[in-house]
Structure 1
Amino acid sequence: MKSNRIMIIDDEPMIRDMLQQMLGREGYEIVTAEHGKAALDWLKQADRHPDLIITDLIMPCKEGLELIPELKASYPEIRIIAFSGGSKHIDPDTQLDIASCLGADKQMSKPFERHVMLEAVRELLS
C-alpha cells in the first residue's frame, strides 16, 4: 500500500523542514517546494501527484492565493491546506477567508499547533 504523498510549499526553509520532519514521522511521503512556481513545475513532471498540498499564502514567484485556483483547475482531486501569518498589508484571517473562497479545503494561521495540523491532515486524507 502506498503512503499518502504530501507537498509542502513555503518560502521559509525552517517551516518547510519542520513540517517535513513532523509529517514524515507520521509516515507520510513528503515533497517540498519553495514557492508556487516551483510547485507547479514539479507537479507537471511528477509521476504521481500528492494527495494533499500544504501551502503558505505569501511567497515570492507565485503566492498561495495565485496557486490555489490553478491547483483546483488542473488537479481537482488534490486537497489543500492553506496557512498564513499575514502580511503588512492584509491580516491572516482575511487571507485565509480568500483562500477558502478560492478552493482551499482547510485554513490555519501561523504559528499553528502540531496537533491542529496533524488533525487537519488526517481529516483530509481519510
Structure 2
Amino acid sequence: MEDFSSKSIKELISLINKEASSNSLKLFKNDVKKLKDRNLLLKIFFAIREIKMDYSVGDLKTGDLRGVRTFKINYNNVAYRIAYYVDKPILDSEKTNIMFIHVGSRENFYKELTDYFRNQKSILKYINNKAI
C-alpha cells in the first residue's frame, strides 16, 4: 500500500492524471488542477482506481449523455461526480479503455458536461456509438 500522507497537492494531481491515463480529456485534467483539497484529491484518486477495477460501478446515463457513466463521491457534505466512458474493445484480447471526461461538484455538473459536449459534438457522437 502506498503512503500518500507526505504527498503534496501537486504530486497528488500528477498521480491522478497518471492513474486516469493519457486518454483523459483536457477538461478532466483542468478540473483536477483546480482542486486544492488533499483529502478530496485522495478520494478522487481512489475512485479512479475503483473505476478501473470495475468500470460498471458508475451509473450509465441516458438521453443527451448516453454512453457516459458517472461515479459518485461524497466529501464534506458535498456531492462530487466523475464522468467517464468505456470503449468497446475491438478484439476480445484487448484491454478495456476508460476515458475520464469531467470531475466536479454535483452542483452544475451535468450542465457543465452537456455544455462541453455541445461544443465537442464529435466526441459525444463517438461516445454514443462506441461506449459500453
Q: TM-score, normalised by structure 2?
A: 0.27
Q: TM-score, normalised by structure 1?
A: 0.28
